[in-house]
Amino acid sequence: MDRIPFLAVVPEMKESDWGLPAVVYAALAIGAGCVGIAALVFRRSMVRETTLLPAWWWALAAVVAASGVELAAGLAADGSATWIAPLRLAAVTLSFCPILAVLGAKRPQHVAWSFVVAAFWGIVTLPAAETFFLQRGQRLEIGDARSFFLWILIAVGPINYLPTRQWLAATLLAAGQILALADYLPLVHRTLFADQCLAGLWLGSLSLVVAREPRSRAAGKYDRLWLDFRDTFGLFWSLRLQERVNSVAQTSGWPLWLSWSGLRELETDRAIAALDSSVEPILRTTLKGLLRRFVSGRWIAKRLGQDLD
């Protein structure tokens, strides 16, 4: 019997339409998913005592869905497969859900808000569902109005977190979303480079890795409390809290105000070294009432170094 050369029994390695060999593409998709999931598990302590736990679950679902679709796309080794595009769109738009969950993260509606987020995701992914179930074999098309709306959704994350210590994570996530949705975005509307969807998945996973645990080193305990809340919940809820605190300060005639960087003297705009004994109890009660809508008493006490109850 003739000896069969080793290479003759090794299956030919297919290449995907994105440039990478199929096996490598699939392995990188698995790697990105593992990195994202590990980062979320490691960072769960950041949201365990807050109303951001639903957002954490949405992020986990987005990582699993996106990595699963890219894994399937790599194994298919055929970038023109008609089922890939709608599934990819559904998976990528799922990455908008965590930030939308943050915008509704206020007790008592933060749990019910997840149904709103799910309904919103269903509306955004409607073109993908129509193509996958009703127009199988046709090219996925998104109308102009929906395409411009994708830009708005991408911008929500950076707008909410760029003024905080989470600016890098928000920027990486937005960049990943742009890469993954480049074919549908106005002003881009084309493939930027080979394997851009896989690159977008990796940027999304890395955004979870670089997300920083809010742990302010401010000297004042109330500044630590404020800055940690600001870096956790972002611009939208922080402006609301800031407005409420400053309203109480103005009504009570306090010689201070809450700036984006912390408590400041009203006249000199300098950081407050020590609070007046007549102001601190009311400020503590005010912050307790406002923050309990977002975090636990233990979360607050940890920042203040005392029990608020």
- Helices (DSSP H) in 109-162: which residue ranges? 113-124, 126-133, 144-161
Q: For the purposes of burial, counting CB atoms within 10 Å of the CB of 305, is it exposed (0-12), middle (13-18) or buried (19 or more)?
A: exposed
Band the pLDDT of 9: cuts 50, 70, 90.
Answer: very low
pLDDT in tens, 24-72: 989 999 999 999 999 999 989 889 999 999 999 999 999 999 999 999 9
Residue 303: phi, psi to the nearest 5?
A: -80, -35
228 contacts 215 by C-beta, under 8 angstroms: yes
The predicted model gives 86-105 an average pLDDT of: 94
Task: Provide mean pLDDT across the span 119-123.
Answer: 93
Closest CA to 184 of 150, 219, 156: 150
Contact 64, 37 (CB under 8 A): yes
Q: How confident is the model at residue 266 (pLDDT cuts 50, 70, 90)?
A: confident
| pLDDT of 172 higher than 90 | yes
Query: Are 198 and 32 a contacting pair, CB within 8 Å?
Result: yes
Domain boundaries, the chain: 12-210, 221-304
- Whether 82 has a pLDDT exceeding 90, the answer reads no
- Average pLDDT over the chain reads 86
Does pLDDT of 8 surpass 50? no
Q: How many CB atoms lie within 10 A of CB 162?
A: 15
Average pLDDT of the segment spanning 253-280 = 85
One-letter amino acid of 133: F
Confidence of residue 280 (pLDDT cuts 50, 70, 90): confident
* C-alpha closest to that of 219 among 118, 125, 305, 289: 305
d(CA 116, CA 110): 10
How much is the pLDDT for 53?
95
Rounded mean pLDDT, 162-190: 91
